[in-house]
Amino acid sequence: MIVAIGDVTERVHTWNPAAQPDSEFLYVDLGAVDSASKSITDAVRVRGSDAPSRARQLVQSGDVLVSTVRPNLNAVAAVDVSLDGATASTGFTVLRPSHRVHSRYLYHWVRTPAFVAEMVRKSTGANYPAVSDRIVKESTLALPGLNEQRRIAAILDHCDSLCFVGKKVLSRLHVLRQSAVAHFVDSVHGTERNLSDLVDAGDRLNYGVVQPGETVKNGVPLVRVSDLRLRRIDRTALKLIGPDIDRTHSHSRLRGTEVLVVCVGMTIGKIAIAQAVDIGSNIARAIARIPISDSNLRTFVAAYLETEAVQSYFKASLRTVAQPTLNIKQLGEARIKVPSIGDLANLCARLESIDAQSQRARCRLEALQRMSVSLQSRAFSGQL
């Protein structure tokens, strides 16, 4: 049976906090919903006298919140018992399940690509696309019996739980890596040197291509900030520049022995390490190249640049013109505590082990996420 969402949800009560200025309540604003985890992560306690004008909707456990702005982000969440009685922004459509629809079934439906695509298609406003409550509630969904809804929701919930655990494992491995580097730096003896002193003889720190021009078929791959992922260069969508532009910027052409650092924009300090497959590619102006041929030293420098102390130094050294920028001179003056060759080898072996575990965990998580998408598709097409 196909039904409109509005036909299987109930009316939500509203109130005006300004009428009770001394009252305190939990407020769920649009920013409180994490569109990645599909959960409410940052509800805040507000006094009635300080409440925003959009604080109106009284929610209860089991409600499903659907953000009506920027529907492409799919900021949706289920209200749990800890937020029973909280107040939600009018920027949400609050879906309160009737006796005909299971809350978790409805929650999983509004996360589907089909629902998101419909909301995006029906949104209005170029700079601030949004949909109305009416559009959300006129959207339809397949509605099997309640027992079948519960079965489908349980399967999708279990898959979500597995993905959550997978993300937790990756997060802990990330913390373990950071802790290993921090402990190493604190515990070993070493000589502090400027980063610029560690680059290969006859080479230097430098930026990349200033004006890459239009994409050229069969051109030279250009590494941009968006291509740096998981300390590597993601080569799936590299821009191709003209050979003449590459020749003009031959000093920034990669040899596969570099640490790369983002020096312009909102991700300043992001790190990647060039690999053999990257040899011959060039880099964009927003990226600095640090040539270090010794593989252990290169791994260590990349890890050291990610430490809190160095990242704080980067932030303190920024200048802002059109956007935040870290100068090559300031980058080169970053202080690096260089350990002995033996200590360096021990740390790199430790990091290699952690990175291998992270890669396996990431592969498992990606497989789970693919399974989740498949199950979701099958669940709402009657094939699960």
pLDDT tens-digit map of 104-120: 999 999 999 999 999 99
Instruction: Name the residue type at position 274.
Output: A
Q: What is the pLDDT of residue 188?
A: 84
CATH class of 2-143: alpha beta
| pTM for the full predicted model | 0.80
Which of 203-212, 229-238, 269-278, 314-323 shows the lowest mean pLDDT across its residues?
314-323
Q: Token digits for 380?
A: 């709402």
CATH class of 190-339: alpha beta
Q: What is the mean pLDDT of the chain?
A: 95
Which of 84-93, 146-155, 314-323 shows the lowest mean pLDDT across its residues?
314-323
Q: Are 93 and 14 in contact (CB under 8 A)?
A: no
- Residue the block writes with tokens 């992270």: 358
Q: What is the pLDDT of residue 384?
A: 80
Per-domain boundaries in the chain: 2-143, 190-339
Would you place residue 231 in the very low, low, confident or very high pLDDT band (cuts 50, 70, 90)?
A: very high
CA proximity to 278, closest of 333, 218, 228: 228
Q: What is the pLDDT of residue 186?
A: 87
CA angle 49, 51, 52 (to 5 degrees): 135
**Number of other residues whose CB lies within 10 A of the CB of residue 189:** 8
In this chain, the answer to whether the domains covering 2-143 and 190-339 adopt an identical fold is yes
Residues with Cβ within 8 Å of 128's Cβ and at least 6 positions away in sequence, in order, are: 69, 70
Percent above pLDDT 70 for the chain: 99
pLDDT at 320 over 80: no
| Average pLDDT of the segment spanning 281-299 | 96
pLDDT in tens, 51-77: 999 999 999 999 999 999 999 999 999
Sheet hosting strand 206-207, strand order edge to edge: 206-207, 287-291, 258-262, 271-273
Q: What is the pLDDT of residue 214?
A: 92
pLDDT at 319 over 90: no
